[in-house]
Amino acid sequence: MAKLYFRYGAMNSGKSTGLLQTAYNYEERGQRVLLIKAVVDTKGEDFVVSRLGVSRRVDLLVDADDDLRALVHQQALSAAQATPAGGDGSQGVARLREVLDCVLIDEAQFLTPLQVDQLMEIVLVDDVPVLAYGIRTDFRTVSFPGSRRLLEIAHSLEELKTICRCGRKAIFNARKVGESFVFDGDQVAIDSGGVTYESLCGKCYLSAGGRLSAQ
């Protein structure tokens, strides 16, 4: 039975590297994968980019109002040069598993909760496994809506670990502008224009000026 997997971790925990390795493993066995990331993630533009220097062009860029399941059907069936019969697309739904073996999502925190539900439909209705990679919380320790929904409904949760500057396990993603940590601002600010991120343990996050707050 297909499952929805959420593999999460702080920045620099190897999420994109793991995704690219998974894609390679599938394709090495002659299986077909579909790589997806959100338009809002402008880092690398239409590529999944690993911090180790490995990259690969994605198959789909999705916006917040896109129907993710419909796009997956359209892309996968088009790639297989299949034309679904019937006005309701029911034959296309039935055939998806014949032309696609896995869906891979990079930076899954940027999906909407509805799009995460659409991923679950791909798993439950179409019997295609979905592996989503992302971070749980933003630089203020507040969960991203997409990550929160994945934590609520995914069949399998796997934490990818990395370390803080002090050697402890890093769990938070601290934002820096230049050399200074900042703890106010928009939830999404991609690495650019002097904005960078550092993975910190809880103790170092508080020492840097961070706050633990649900607000």
The answer, yes or no, to whether residue 32 has pLDDT greater than 70, is yes
- Can you tell me the mean pLDDT for 102-130? 97
DSSP assignment, residue 29? T
pLDDT of 94 higher than 60 = no
Rounded Cα–Cα distance for residues 143 and 157 (Å): 15
pLDDT higher at 190 or 212: 212
For the ranges 45-49, 96-100, 167-171, 184-188, the maximum mean pLDDT occurs at 167-171
Q: How many helices (H) and strands (E) does the chain have?
A: 6, 11
pLDDT of residue 190: 67
Which of the two residues, 84 and 80, has the higher pLDDT score?
Answer: 80
Q: How confident is the model at residue 87 (pLDDT cuts 50, 70, 90)?
A: very low
pLDDT averaged over the chain? 88
Residue range 59-72: mean pLDDT, rounded: 95
pLDDT digits (tens, 9 = 90+) for 186-206: 888 765 568 889 999 999 999
Cβ pair 203, 130 in contact under 8 A: no
pLDDT over 50 (residue 109): yes
> Residue 44: what pLDDT?
62
Pick the catalytic residue from 27, 98, 107, 179.
Answer: 107
Q: Using CB atoms within 10 A of its CB, is residue 89 exposed (0-12), middle (13-18) or buried (19+)?
A: middle
In CATH, 4-161 is 3.20.20.150: no
Reduce the DSSP state of residue 4 to 3 states and report it. Answer: strand
Residue 179 a catalytic site member: no
Q: What pLDDT is attached to residue 84?
A: 46
Residue 192 is predicted with a pLDDT of: 59
For position 106, what pLDDT does the model report? 94
Going by the annotation, the residues of the binding site for substrate are 197
pLDDT of residue 49: 81
Instruction: Give the position of tokens 């034309």.
Output: 83
**pLDDT class for 92, splitting at 50, 70, 90?**
very low
* Residue 124 contacts residue 153 (beta carbons within 8 Å): no
